Amino acid sequence: MSYLGQQLVNGLTLGGVYALIALGYTLVYGVLQILNFAHGDVYMVGAFIGFFVMVGLGGPLKPSVPVAVMILIMFLVAMLGTGLLGIVIERFAYRPLRNSTRIAPLISALGVSILLQNAALLLFSANIRSYDTSSYISSTLGFSFADITIDGVRLFVLVLSIALMFGLARWVNGTQVGRAMRAIAYDRDAAVMMGIDVDKVIRWTFFVSAALAGAAGVMNGLLLRGVSNGMGLVPGLKGFTAAVVGGIGSIPGAMLGGLLLGVVESLAQGYLSTNFSDTITFALLIVVMLLKPNGLLGKRAIVKA
């Protein structure tokens, strides 16, 4: 029982990270109907920013500020940095293509992805970095509860990801920009005619989407996974899988999809095979897409003729 509980907690934590990435895909897809291929690499950049901020503040062992403050600063800087990166990517790689063919933004995004990966390779070298090799942070924050050992970092990541999701939901439903965003997702032409500043809303969408990926990147680092220039590909794929499984364009769908994916992957690793867990995730994607092409919470699209 405790093993299962452990796996579930791990899965939910991982799922929180996936959900944040998935939300980024879903937001952009909802507004522009493009698949932001570079999203996984934005996540990678976030992880790097978090790493360098941490090193700048003295590292996990000798931080110049309390650990909690350090982690807070890491998240803030990484989210701000990736958010701005998101705006820049939109401005230069997507905006010129807004009225182009369907395939062009996809290829352009592929280009951005390659650029980011190799820029990171050039700037940071191919070394795989780790946030906290001695697990210092997690060992100071851990506690156990009814046979399940919960390390503090995991719990923190889980809570923060859920908090970010709620923040996002509030932003989308409660603010002017969020409402404008939903209006554009529903009908862009009509939104333009109603006087909505589409450029501004799309900028915000990219900012928020990328900032969430940046937060996910820092979380990935805190969960003691390696940070390297190629780290974005697989989580990017899984984030997209989560978005699709939940129903792309749907915000609750992305959350559900992310958590589900994390749990499935964690259970697959725990009970079936460590090496083939990605294959199992892929199988899940295929099954969902064949059975429910619009995802678990997606709306059914009506073919127009």
Partner 1 sequence: MLKLSNVTMEFGALRSISELDLTVNEGEIVSVIGPNGAGKTTLFNVITGIYTPTSGSVELEGKSLVGLDPARVNHAGVARTFQNVRLFLNMSVIENVMSATYGHTRAGLFASALALPKSRKEEKAVRAKAEELLSFFGSRLTGYRWDQPAYSLSYANRRRLEIARALATEPKLLLLDEPAAGMNPKETQEITQVVERLRAEKGLTILIIEHDMHVVEGVSDRVVALDHGVKIAEGNFDHVATHPDVVEAYLGRGAADRK
Partner 2 sequence: MSENQVPEEIQESAATEAAKLGIGTDEWVAQHEERIARKKGIKGLPQLINESIPAWARWGVLLLISFAFGAFVDNQYLLRIGVNLGLFVMLSYGLNIVMGYAGLLDLGYVAFYGIGAYGYALMSSEQIGHHWSTWLTVLIIIIGTALLGYIVSLPSRRLFGDYLAIVTLFFGQVFVQLVLASDNITFPWAEDYVDITAGANGIPGIDPFSFFGHKFLNIRDYYWLLLVLVALLTIAISRVNRTRIGRAWRTIREDALAAESMGVMVNRLKTMAFVTGAAIAGLAGAIFAAMQTAVFVSGFDMPLMTMIYAAVILGGSGSLAGAVMGAIVMSVLPEVLRVTNYSEILFLAVLVLTLAAVGKSVKRFTINIVGIALIGFLVKILLGAASIKTTPTKEWVVGPVSRALSHWMYVPLDRVLWGNCAFVILIVLIAYFTTTTPRIKSILLPVIGYLGIFLWEVRLVTDVNTTRQLLIGAMLVVLMITRPQGFLGKARVEVL
Return the residue of 49, 191, 264, 285 that touches partner 2, per CB under 8 A. 285
For position 302 contacting partner 2 by CB under 8 A, the verdict is no
Minimum CB distance to partner 1 smaller for 214 or for 298:
298
User: For residue 152, what are its two tokens?
Assistant: 């503090």
User: For residue 266, what are its two tokens?
Assistant: 């964690």
Footprint (CB under 8 A) of partner 2, residues 221-260 = 233-234, 237, 240-241, 244
- Binding region for partner 1 (CB under 8 A): 300, 302-303, 305
Q: How many CB atoms are closer than 10 A to CB 301? A: 9
Show Cβ contacts of residue 194 under 8 Å, excluding neighbours closer than 6 positions: 183
For position 52 contacting partner 2 by CB under 8 A, the verdict is no
Q: Give 218-279 as a DSSP string.
A: HHHHHTT--B-TTTTHHHHHHHHHHHHHH-TT-HHHHHHHHHHHHHHHHHIIIII-STTHHH
192 interface partner picked from partner 1, partner 2, none, CB below 5 to 8 A per type: none
Length of the chain in terms of residues written: 305
User: For residue 22, what are its two tokens?
Assistant: 């998935």
76 interface partner picked from partner 1, partner 2, none, CB below 5 to 8 A per type: none
Of 151, 127, 301, the C-alpha closest to 230 is 127
302 interface partner picked from partner 2, partner 1, none, CB below 5 to 8 A per type: partner 1
Measured CA to CA, the distance from residue 217 to residue 51 in angstroms comes to 10
On whether the CB atoms of residues 228 and 129 are closer than 8 A, the answer is: yes
Q: What is the contact mask toward partner 2 in residues 104 to 143, using x (rule: CB under 8 A)?
A: xxxxx-xxxxxxxxxx-xxx--------------------
For position 279 contacting partner 2 by CB under 8 A, the verdict is yes
Enter the DSSP assignment of 129. Answer: B
Amino acid at position 276, single letter: F
Minimum CB distance to partner 1 smaller for 200 or for 299:
299
Minimum CB distance to partner 2 smaller for 170 or for 299:
299
For position 58 contacting partner 2 by CB under 8 A, the verdict is no
Q: What is the CA radius of gyration of the chain?
A: 19
For position 278 contacting partner 2 by CB under 8 A, the verdict is yes
Return the residue of 1, 176, 275, 300 that touches partner 2, per CB under 8 A. 275
Measured CA to CA, the distance from residue 137 to residue 74 in angstroms comes to 14
Beta carbon of residue 4, minimum distance to partner 2 (angstroms, whole number): 21
Q: Footprint of partner 2 on this chain (CB under 8 A)? A: 29, 34-35, 88, 91-93, 96-97, 99-108, 110-119, 121-123, 233-234, 237, 240-241, 244, 275-276, 278-279, 282, 285-286, 289-290, 293, 303, 305
